[in-house]
Amino acid sequence: MKAAVVYEYGQPIETVDAHLGEVGPNDVRVAIRASGLCHSDVSVQTGALPFPLPMILGHEGAGVVEAVGDAVTTCVPGDHVVLSALIHCGICDNCVKGRPNLCFWGLNTIFGGRNPDGSLRARDAQGRELYQFSSIGTLAEELVCHEKHAIPIPRDVSFEAACLTGCGVLTGLSAVLNRARVEAGKSVVVIGCGGVGLNVIQGAVLASAGMIVAVDLNETKLDMARRFGATHTLNAATVGSIPDAVRELTGGFGADYVFEVVGVPELVRQGWDSLRIDGTLTVIGVHPSTSEAILPAGEFATSEKTLMSCLYGTSRPTKDIPLAVELYRQGRLKLDELVTHHFSLDQINDAVATMNRGTDARGVVVFDG
Identity of the residue, 95 or 211, whose beta carbon is nearer to Zn ion in the bound complex: 95
CA nearest to 260, candidates 269, 248, 251? 269
Identity of the residue, 92 or 308, whose beta carbon is nearer to Zn ion in the bound complex: 92
**The dihedral sign for the CA sequence 180, 183, 188, 190:** positive
Give me the amino acid identity at 26.
N
Q: How far is the CB of 104 from Zn ion (least distance, A)?
A: 6
**The dihedral sign for the CA sequence 149, 152, 158, 164:** negative
Q: How far is the CB of 66 from Zn ion (least distance, A)?
A: 24
Identity of the residue, 148 or 269, whose beta carbon is nearer to Zn ion in the bound complex: 148
Q: How far is the CB of 281 from Zn ion (least distance, A)?
A: 21
By DSSP bridging, strand 212-216 and strand 232-235 are parallel
d(CA 254, CA 159): 40
Q: Which residues form the interface with Zn ion (CB under 5 A)?
A: 38, 40, 88-89, 92, 95, 103, 167
Q: How far is the CB of 293 from Zn ion (least distance, A)?
A: 21
Identity of the residue, 92 or 264, whose beta carbon is nearer to Zn ion in the bound complex: 92
Identity of the residue, 40 or 178, whose beta carbon is nearer to Zn ion in the bound complex: 40
Contacts of 142 (CB under 8 A, 6+ apart): 1, 20, 29, 30, 31, 32, 66
Q: How far is the CB of 90 from Zn ion (least distance, A)?
A: 6
Helix (H) or strand (E) holding 123: strand 122-124
d(CA 209, CA 183): 7
